[in-house]
Homo-oligomer: A and B are copies of this chain.
Amino acid sequence: MHAEIIAVGTEMLLGEIVDTNSKYISEGLADLGIDVYYHSLVGDNETRMEEVISLAAARSDLVILSGGLGPTPDDLTKQVVARFLQRKLVVDQVALRKISAFFEARKRTMTPNNKVQAMYIDGAVSLPNEVGLAVGNFYHSDQGADFLLLPGPPHEMETMFDQTAKPLLASQYQRSQILSTRLLRFYGIGESNLVTKLADLIDEQVNPTIAPYAKETEVTLRLTATGQTEAENQQLLDDLEEKISARVGRYLYGYGENNSLPAVVVEKLKQRGLTISAAESLTGGSFQAAVTAIPGASAVFPGGFVTYAAKQKEQMLGIDADLIERYGVVSEQTARAMAERTLALTDTDLALSFTGVAGPEELEGHPAGTVWIGLAGKQIPTSARLYSFQYDRSRVRNSAVMTGFSQLYQALAQIDFKR
């Protein structure tokens, strides 16, 4: 059993908008354990729509279309699918009354093509549209592929999918097997390195499966187990995670979809009742912006400094001008002083500092990407580490911020803080 998703709309082929519907539907189908093999996108062109639909029906068990259910002359999805299935369109009277009422309430005349929005393919289930006017369709066929037709505007599509279509698909395609997934999040290791270290596990994978995915500053592994019960699946996932942890556990910082390294660090600080501050030069406030992006950050973060110019490192933080003159802005000494002075000024438990060269130009003879990150704390010795990020300006800054969180994460793991 596998599905295919087709988005319909010329505006997406012109690059005016991104198709987010196909992602949303894919995510929902993944929850149901329905495999998706293809996404396609086609314009509001009858001939090419017919071609894409007949290809999809030939190679997939379920074809899901979004878009082209509206009232304008280029909305043709329902008509083309009906012709392909050799069925006619019939009127959903409840939906038609809703459309009439909509136009009456606005004192506008209902044009004939608005009525099309209330029509569905004969033999299909008409799916109500809670936030719009065009009904959806689910057509089950005993021989060929099944069809699900959804509206194009994302809020209409998402509402209809969640409220009506997804439960309908769940009951239609009951699986005897249960699917369980676990997402592992890694920082400080590249995708190719991670995959190399786990090569034999990845080669052997059958159940659970292992899918690596690299984002700009981190890598995730999605483990997916299939079995008769949730308990059986969790056991399979536990066993595999244990093997993975034995090799690359030091880079594993968290689990789940919406759980970034900043969120994990802020949560750990909160649990321990610790506070943090920062002085930022090349990152220009990005670290503090990332901390305060987490709801409830005020429990751990009172504030900090953006000391972009050398003079502000002296004025705001009170760093000795001689020290900066002697060692330079991009130096271990300056990074340490920034962290220590910030700790003293804000009276927090920990303070980070960022100083370096975002680029594209070099600074003080150091190439772009050279970054010192300092860490001071009430109960730990001050340290500073040197990094060399070989990327463009935006990614150098981003990598510095994420490495700051990683340095904090490691410090929190290794040191037994006492209040």
User: Are A306's CB and B308's CB within 8 A?
Assistant: no
User: Are A284's CB and B293's CB within 8 A?
Assistant: yes
Residue of B nearest to A304 (CB): B306
B-binding segment of A210-218, A244-252, A402-410:
A210-218
User: Are A211's CB and B10's CB within 8 A?
Assistant: yes
A227 contacts chain B at the CB level, 8 A cutoff: no
CB distance from A65 to the nearest CB of B (A): 14
User: Are A286's CB and B284's CB within 8 A?
Assistant: no
Residue of B nearest to A191 (CB): B72
- Interface residues in A198-229 by Cβ distance below 8 A to B read 202, 211-214, 216, 222
CA distance A136 to B144 in the complex (A): 40
User: Are A73's CB and B13's CB within 8 A?
Assistant: no
User: Are B301's CB and A308's CB within 8 A?
Assistant: yes
CA distance A391 to B131 in the complex (A): 6
User: Are A304's CB and B285's CB within 8 A?
Assistant: yes
Residue of B nearest to A194 (CB): B72
User: Are A195's CB and B72's CB within 8 A?
Assistant: yes
CA distance A19 to B18 in the complex (A): 8
Identify which of B26, B42, B312 contacts A38 (C-beta below 8 A): B42
Q: Which chain B residues border A390 with CB–CB below 8 Å?
A: 102, 105-106
User: Are A73's CB and B10's CB within 8 A?
Assistant: no
- Given A15-B25, A23-B12, A392-B131, A308–B292 Cβ distance below 8 Å? yes
CA distance A393 to B316 in the complex (A): 29
Residue of B nearest to A193 (CB): B108
The secondary-structure label for the interface of chain A is mixed
User: Are B17's CB and A216's CB within 8 A?
Assistant: no
Residue of B nearest to A131 (CB): B392
- Interface residues in A284-329 by Cβ distance below 8 A to B read 284-289, 291-293, 295, 297-298, 301-309, 311-312, 315-316
Identify which of B18, B39, B291, B345 contacts A284 (C-beta below 8 A): B291
Q: Which chain B residues border A193 with CB–CB below 8 Å?
A: 108, 111
A341 contacts chain B at the CB level, 8 A cutoff: no
CB distance from A18 to the nearest CB of B (A): 5
Residue from the set A45, A304, A308 with the largest chain B CB neighbour count within 10 Å: A308
CA distance A297 to B395 in the complex (A): 17
Q: Which chain B residues border A73 with CB–CB below 8 Å?
A: 195, 202
User: Are A26's CB and B15's CB within 8 A?
Assistant: yes
Identify which of B16, B284, B393, B395 contacts A288 (C-beta below 8 A): B284
Q: Which chain B residues border A307 with CB–CB below 8 Å?
A: 303
CB distance from A213 to the nearest CB of B (A): 5
A379 contacts chain B at the CB level, 8 A cutoff: no
* Top 8 A-B residue pairs of the complex, sorted by shortest distance between their CB atoms: A284-B292, A15-B27, A285-B285, A15-B26, A303-B312, A285-B288, A39-B41, A302-B309
Given contacts A13-B36, A13-B38, 11 further A-B contacts (CB under 8 A): A19-B19, A37-B43, A38-B52, A55-B55, A71-B192, A71-B195, A131-B392, A285-B288, A285-B292, A295-B359, A303-B308
The chain A residues found within 8 Å of chain B, CB to CB, are 7, 10-20, 22-30, 36-43, 45, 48, 52, 55, 70-73, 102, 105-106, 108, 111, 113-114, 130-131, 153, 155, 191-193, 195-196, 202, 211-214, 216, 222, 280, 282-289, 291-293, 295, 297-298, 301-309, 311-312, 315-316, 345-346, 358-361, 388, 390-395, 397
